[in-house]
Structure 1
Amino acid sequence: MFSTNPRLDRAAVLAGVCTLSILMCTCRQPALFRGQAQAEAGGPVPIATAWPWESRAPLLYGHGLQMAVDETNAAGGVLGRPLRVLREDDRESVDEGRLVARRLAQDDDVVAVIGHMQSYVSLPAAAIYDLFGIVHLAPTSTDPRLTQQGYRRLFRMTFTDRETGAQMADFAAERGYDRIAIYYIRNAYGRGLANAFEEQALERGVGIADRQSYDPNAVGGDRALTDILASWRDLNLRAIFIAGEPREAAAMIRAARERAIDVPVLGGDALGTADFVSMGGRAVEGTVLAAAFHPGDERETVRQFSVRFRERYGRLPDTSAALAYDAVRLLAHGMTRAESVDPDRVADALRATAGWRGVTGPVTFTDDGDLVERAIGKVVVRNGQLVWLGDGAEGE
C-alpha cells in the first residue's frame, strides 16, 4: 500500500529513530523478558492487529482476520491455547501508529502484531516491535525499505513495489507496448513503483515516452492533468502505466478517454478495488492491474476460502481479507512448528518455512523477511468487474 502525504515518507523514518531512542532508555532486555513471560504463560495467546479501522471500513481486512482466528480456535487453537485478538486503530498516521506500537510493546503478553496498512506507518512501528521482541507480520506494506533494516522478527506478506513494477513492465514488453507514459503519485509508493517499472521497461527495450507525477493535495490538479494529457496526444503512445490511488487514477483515465487517448492502461496493485472500477466507469474497461489475490483464482485453496468467506459474510473476499487471513494462519503455523509461542522461536520457525500454502500463494521467506519472488497476479476490468487473468502461483 502507499502513503497519501508525500512528506510522511521522510518523517516516518525520523519518527521511528526518535521513538526508538526514548524506548531504549526505559526498557530492560525487553525481547528476552517477553520470551520468558510467554514461556511461562497459559490461557489465550494474545496477538494484536493494527489497522485504520475507521478510515478503511469498506475493506474486508477485519473479516479475513477474524475468520482465520475463529477457524484456528475451532481446530483446537495453537498448542492447545486459543488465539485472542487485540485491535488497535493507527488512523493511517505516523504519530498514532507510533503510539499504538508503544502501547503494544509495553504489554508483555503480546506475542505478535499483524499490521499496519501503510508502509509509512509500518516503518517507524517496526523498529519498536523488533526492539521489544514482538513478531511483526506486515500484510500490505510494500515499501522495500521495510525489510532492509535488519529486523529478525519482521515478515512481509505481500510483494514489494519493486517486484510489482518490474513484473508489470515485463507484462507490457510481452504485449509489444513499445512507447509508454508513466503517471504516478508523488510519494514513496508512486516513485518506487514508477522507478521499478521504468528500469525494467528500459531493460526490456521498451521506450518510456514521458513520465509525470501528481500531488493529490495540490491546488489546480485538474489543470495540470489537462496539460499533461494535451502533451501526450502527440507522443504516439502504445500504453500508459499508473502508479497511484484509485480516485486520481480513475479521473486520469476518464480524462484521457475524453481526449481520444485510447491506448491500453496498466496499473499497480493499489488500483485493484471496487472503488476504482465504480469511479472510472466505462473509461477503465480493459485496464490491467497487478493483484496479490482475487477470488476468481482457480486454485482449490482460493476456491474453498472464497466459498467459506461468502457463506459467512455474504460477499466475496478482497485482497486485504486474504492477506489478513494468511497472516493469522501462517502465524499459527509458525507457533505450532516452533512448539512454542516464544517470539524468537516463532520467528525462527517462520524463516524456515518453505512452500506454505496460503490463499494468496505459496509462502517462503528470504533471510530478510521478504517473500521469495513469485509471479504477481493480474486482473482486468471487464463489464464493470475485476476479472482474474492468472499468476501461475503454485505451492506444495
Structure 2
Amino acid sequence: MPQSPSTRLIYVLLGLCILLASCSQFEDDYHAARRARAQSNDTTAPIVIGVAWNFTDEYNAARVGECANLPVSECPVLPLGKYDMLPLGVHMAVEEINANGGVLGGRLLQIRERDDNESITQGRLVAQEFAEETDVVAVIGHAYSSISIPASPLYEFNGVIMLSPAATSPHLTHRGFTRVFRNLISDDQIGQVLADYAFAQGYRRVMIIYRDEAYGRDLSNVFETEAARLGVEVVDRRIYSSVDFERIIRDWAEQEFDAILIATSSAQDAALFIKRAGEAGINVPFLGGDGIDSSDIAAIAGEYAEGTVVATHYHQDNPRPQLQEFIQRFNARWGDLIPDYQSLWGGVPDTWAALGYDAVYILANAIEQAGITDPDQLAAYMHEDFVWLDGVTGAYRFDEKGDVVGKQVVLLRLEDGEFRYFGEFTGIDDITPPPTPEPEATTSPEEE
C-alpha cells in the first residue's frame, strides 16, 4: 500500500532524529574520551597539537618524499612553496619549547599535520579526523575563513580547541562557541582602524569598492559604520565580481572625493583597479586591509600605487624586540635549508610564520599557566585568565568570544615600490591627525 506524504515525512523526520542522535552520541564519546585522557595524569604522553592548513604541493612532496618519516625540522632540504611559512613557524616553536623541557614538568609537544586542500569539504573532513583522535588537545588552523567557519562546529562539539592564525571573518567567533579562538585581529578591527586613519588624515569624502565575497562585505561594512560615526561621508559604494572596472572608474572620475577603500582579498584585483584608476586620472590615496598586503600591488600598479596604505598584522620592520629576535632565530634555523628563501620571501619570515609561531606558544603558555590539558578547562582559562605579553606579533589576551583583545593593527604605506612600516594602532586615539593649516592672514579695515 503506498505511503501517504505525511507518513513518508514522519519516516524522514524519524530517520533524521536517529542520525542526529547517533552523531551526538559520537560527539559525546569523543568528548568524554578526550576529557578522560586529559585527566589520566599520564606525565609521559606527548601533548598533541594538530595543524590544519593549505599546504602546497612542494611542502607535501617534501613530507612524503625524502622526509616521509622525519619531522619537517629534520628534512635536509625544504623545496617549499610561497604559503608554507606557517608550518615552519609552528615547528620552530615546538623545537624551542621541547628543547627547554616541554610543559607541565617535562611533557613534550607533538605536531600532527593535515592538508585541507583549500576546500570546505576537505576542511570539514580534516576537522572530523582530528575530532576522532582523542589525544588531540587543540588544532591550529585553518587558512581561510570560508573553511574555518564550517569546520569550527566539529571542533567545538567534540571538545577540541580551535586556534586560527589566519581567519579574520567576525563570524568565526560570533556564534557563542567556547572553544574557538583566533590569534590575529579580525576584519572588524581592520575596518575600524582604516576608517579612523581616514578621518585622522582629513579625508571627509571616501569611495568604497568591494569584492563580492564575505571578506569584502565585512571590511566595507565596518569601515562605513565607523566612518559615519566620525562624520566621514561614503559618497559611493560599488560591488564587483569581475575585473571590468571601467564603468566604476568612469563614474568616479567625474566626482570629487579624498580617498578610495578597496575591500578585497585579491591583491591582483586591487592592483589592477589602482592601475586603471590612475591611468584615468584619479589621483587620490588608496586604502586596504590585509587582503592586499602584497608585493603584487607595486608590481602591477607601479607608480599609481605609491602612497597606498594597508592595515595588516605584521611587518618585518616593526621594532618590537620579540619580533626582531624571532626573525634572527628563524633565519638561523631555516634560511640555509630553503633554496628560494630570498626570491620567494625576501629573506625574512612572513606573517603566517610569525602567527603560527605565536599560536604554539599561546597554547603552551596556557597549558603551563593553567596546569591542565583538558580542552574544556583550558578554553575556560584562556577566556578568563590567560595573559601572554611576549608574542612576536603582540601581547595576547582573549575575550568571551575568543577574539584577541588589545592587539594593535599594523599600518603600512607603499613608498618607492615597497610597503614600509609606519606604526601600530588600536584606534582613533593612537593616530596623529595631520597638522591643521594656519589660517590665511587677513587685513582689517583699520590697517588699510
- TM-score computed with the length of structure 1 as normaliser: 0.88
Q: How does 1:35-46 map to 2 (within 5 A)?
A: 35-40=35-40, 41=42, 42-46=44-48
Higher mean Cα deviation, 239-248 or 378-387? Answer: 378-387
Shift of 1:275: 3.5
Query: Could you say which residue in structure 1 is the equivalent of 2:49?
Result: 47
Identity over aligned pairs, percent: 37
Shift of 1:20: 8.0
User: Is 1:246–1:271's contact at 8 Å kept on the other side of the alignment?
Assistant: yes
Distance 1:307 1:392, change over 3 A: farther
Shift of 1:30: 2.7
User: Is 1:20–1:127's contact at 8 Å kept on the other side of the alignment?
Assistant: no
Distance 1:149 1:350 in 2: 17
Amino acid at match of 1:282: E
Amino acid at match of 1:24: S
Amino acid at match of 2:394: G
> Which protein is bigger by CA-based radius of gyration?
2
Distance 1:342 1:165 in 2: 36
Please, which of 400, 415, 418 is the counterpart of residue 385 of structure 1?
418
Distance 1:22 1:142, change over 3 A: farther
Distance 1:275 1:324 in 2: 23
Query: Could you say which residue in structure 2 is the equivalent of 1:320?
Result: 352
Distance 2:86 2:205 in 1: 37
User: Is 1:335–1:349's contact at 8 Å kept on the other side of the alignment?
Assistant: no
User: Is 1:53–1:91's contact at 8 Å kept on the other side of the alignment?
Assistant: yes
Higher mean Cα deviation, 273-282 or 334-343? Answer: 273-282
Query: Could you say which residue in structure 1 is the equivalent of 2:303?
Result: 282
Q: Which secondary structure state, in structure 1, belongs to the residue aligned with residue 39 of structure 2? A: helix
Distance 1:27 1:302 in 2: 40
Deviating runs (4+, > 4 A) in structure 1?
Answer: 19-22
Please, which of 131, 136, 155 is the counterpart of residue 110 of structure 1?
136
Amino acid at match of 2:47: V
Shift of 1:198: 0.8
Higher mean Cα deviation, 334-343 or 248-257? Answer: 334-343
Please, which of 76, 82, 86 is the counterpart of residue 101 of structure 2?
76
Q: Which secondary structure state, in structure 2, belongs to the residue aligned with residue 253 of structure 1? A: helix
Query: Could you say which residue in structure 2 is the equivalent of 1:33?
Result: 33
Aligned residues: 369
Please, which of 198, 206, 211 is the counterpart of residue 224 of structure 2?
198
Shift of 1:392: 5.0
Distance 1:22 1:383, change over 3 A: farther
Q: How does 1:234-313 map to 2 (within 5 A)?
A: 234-244=254-264, 245-313=266-334
Distance 2:89 2:236 in 1: 40
Matched, 1:368 2:401: yes
Distance 1:319 1:21 in 2: 42
Q: How does 1:132-281 map to 2 (within 5 A)?
A: 132-215=158-241, 218=242, 221-222=243-244, 225-244=245-264, 245-281=266-302
User: Is 1:209–1:235's contact at 8 Å kept on the other side of the alignment?
Assistant: no
Distance 1:252 1:236 in 2: 18
Shift of 1:313: 2.9
- TM-score computed with the length of structure 2 as normaliser: 0.79
Distance 1:103 1:123 in 2: 17
Please, which runs of 5 or more residues in structure 1 have no aligned partner? Answer: 1-18
Distance 1:374 1:339, change over 3 A: closer
Distance 2:405 2:326 in 1: 23
User: Is 2:358–2:391's contact at 8 Å kept on the other side of the alignment?
Assistant: yes
Distance 1:306 1:171, change over 3 A: same
The superposition leaves residues 102-149 of structure 1 with CA deviations (integer Å, 9 ceiling, x where unpaired) of 111111111110001111211121111111111110111111111122
Q: Which secondary structure state, in structure 2, belongs to the residue aligned with residue 363 of structure 1? A: coil
Amino acid at match of 2:119: S
Amino acid at match of 2:246: T
User: Is 2:183–2:355's contact at 8 Å kept on the other side of the alignment?
Assistant: yes
Amino acid at match of 1:89: D
